[in-house]
Structure 1
Amino acid sequence: MTVYGAEEKCASCIHLPSAKETMEWLEAAIIRKYPNTSIVFEYVDIDKPTSNEAHNYYAEAIKEDEFFYPLVVLEGEVLAEGNPKLKSIYKKIDELIQSDSNI
């Protein structure tokens, strides 16, 4: 699971946790609910260049206002942007588990 964000909060996110805090919160909640999964959590700062094409794609898309951050991506699918909702993220994880994915 990759969470994209920046040190500076977006204008509409002033009262929300930072993107990095959001990733830490998601990680704790998901590990607690799914202790036997192998989901790896990664935070990507959209202002720091990387050699990963997917990371660069989402970073540029956020900068071009195609997505809001924090942006939550799992297995190439955008699960949430802005203020993520655990219920929808849990639903996708359940679907992946049922489809016998390697998570």
Structure 2
Amino acid sequence: MKKEAEIFVYGAEQICASCVNLPSSKETYEWLEAAISRKYPGQPFKIHYIDIFNPPEDEAAKAFAERVVEEDLFYPVVTMDDEIIGEGNPRLKDVYKKLEEHGYHAE
């Protein structure tokens, strides 16, 4: 494994208007955390939930949260290495592919 992966899930309590009938951003964050832990047991990673309407003081997180709002991206938006890997209804396959590029391997 190259380095511990760090995944960010940007979203809001209110479900995206274009994402009706999909899980909330927080539910997606929890689902991703559980799915990654099951697929890559014993391989550490960090996952962060960022509320786009109340971002932390971290400049990078704050700037991307503003981008999600300004560009009307479908949230939740999942990023890794400053790259969007999922938007609205992220696909596990895409997240797994990015993790495997980092040297993670399924067990």
Letter in 2 for 1:5: G
CA apart distance, 1:57? 1.4
Question: Residue 39 of structure 2: which of 1, 26, 33 is its match?
Answer: 33
Counterpart of 1:97 in 2: which secondary structure? coil
What is the total number of aligned residue pairs between the two structures? 98
Higher relative strand content: 2
Q: Percent identity?
A: 51
Higher relative contact order (CA 8 A, sep 6+): 2
Unaligned residue ranges in structure 2 (runs of 5+): 1-6
CA apart distance, 1:67? 2.5
Q: Which runs of 4+ in 1 moved over 3 A?
A: none
RMSD, matched Cα = 1.3
What does 1:81-92 align with in structure 2 at a 5 Å threshold? Answer: 81-92=87-98
TM-score (normalizing by structure 1):
0.88
Deviations 1:50-84 (A, max 9, x none): 21111111111111125221010112221111100
Counterpart of 1:40 in 2: which secondary structure? strand
Instruction: State the alpha-carbon separation in 2 of the partners of residues 51 and 78 from structure 1.
Output: 21
TM-score (normalizing by structure 2):
0.85
